[in-house]
Amino acid sequence: MKRINLLPPEQRVKASRERGLLWAILILVAVVVALGMVYVWQNSKVTDKQVELDGLTAQVAAVQQQAAVLRPYALIQTERTAMTQTAKGIYDSRVSWSTILQEISLVIPDNVRLQSLTCTVPATMLPGSAAPATPGAPGTTDVTFSGTTYTHKDVAEFMTRLGLIPQLMNIQLGSSAGAAAAPVSGTSGATPAATVTFSVTASLRPYLTPPPATAIGGAAQ
């Protein structure tokens, strides 16, 4: 059976408008509800992030407090490291006289007799020196040999052998003079042998790097 709308045209238009307004209100309410749900969700995320930020801030404050407590020990460790490095540098740049004397004993000719040996460490090779040695500069007289032998050739051989010692350089002849003939010890009736008194000087080879200063730079006051 066919439905017949008995409402006047004006009422039919009004009812259609009311239905459209109702749908619009429903859609608006749905949008507001959706926006509310999004707001609640985002607000929950912000709250979680704020809680996480507060936790991280508390951890940072705790770490900073712990670092402040440990800072004196860190300064002590820094000073200790600097002292250790300085001590090692001083030890590495020391003049090993025992090694030098051992090497001299290996190169000295059999017919050369040393009467005196004077050794001095130059100021430029001491720790904390204000004027480091310059390679190639004229050397100082750091080691002086005095002794006797039989000929000037023996003195020259002794100087040549001293040049084999890596710690010595600038081997120079100070003096070499012959003396009156003297009997050869340990023999009877032997022909007296002439002796030569000599003096030889040498310089210590400078370090490749200057020795460290005794004062520790950058240490905690």
Position 210 in a domain: no
Phi and psi (nearest 5°) for 165? -80, 120
- Picking from 66, 92, 118, the residue at the C-terminal end of a domain is 92
In a domain, 111, yes or no: yes
Q: Are 113 and 170 members of one domain?
A: yes
How sure is the predictor about 135, in pLDDT bands with cuts at 50, 70 and 90? Answer: very low
Whole-number Å distance between alpha carbons of 217 and 83: 10
Structural domain ending residue among the three candidates 65, 92, 119: 92
In a domain, 220, yes or no: no
Residues 101 and 194 in one domain: yes
**Higher-confidence residue: 122 or 200?**
200
Residue 219 lies in a domain: no
Inside any domain, residue 53: yes
The verdict on 170 and 78 lying in the same domain is: no
Among 39, 58, 92, identify where a domain stops: 92
Residue 87 has pLDDT above 80, yes or no: no
Do 192 and 146 share a structural domain?
Answer: yes
Whether residue 162 is contained in a domain is answered as yes
Q: b/e map of 42-79 (b: 16 or more CB within 10 Å)? A: eeeeeeeeeeeeeeeeeeeeeeeeeeeeeeeeeeeeee
- Can you give the pLDDT at residue 220? 41
213 lies in some domain: no
Q: pLDDT, tens digit, for every residue of 13-33? A: 666 777 778 888 888 888 888
150 within 8 A of 194, measured Cβ to Cβ: yes
Residue 191 has pLDDT above 70, yes or no: no
Share of the chain above pLDDT 70, in %: 70
Same domain (yes/no): 81, 169: no
Q: Are residues 152 and 138 in the same domain?
A: yes
Domain that holds residue 145: 97-204
* Partners of 38 in the β-ladder: none
How many separate domains does the chain show?
A: 2
Q: Are residues 76 and 159 in the same domain?
A: no
CATH of the domain at 105: 3.30.70
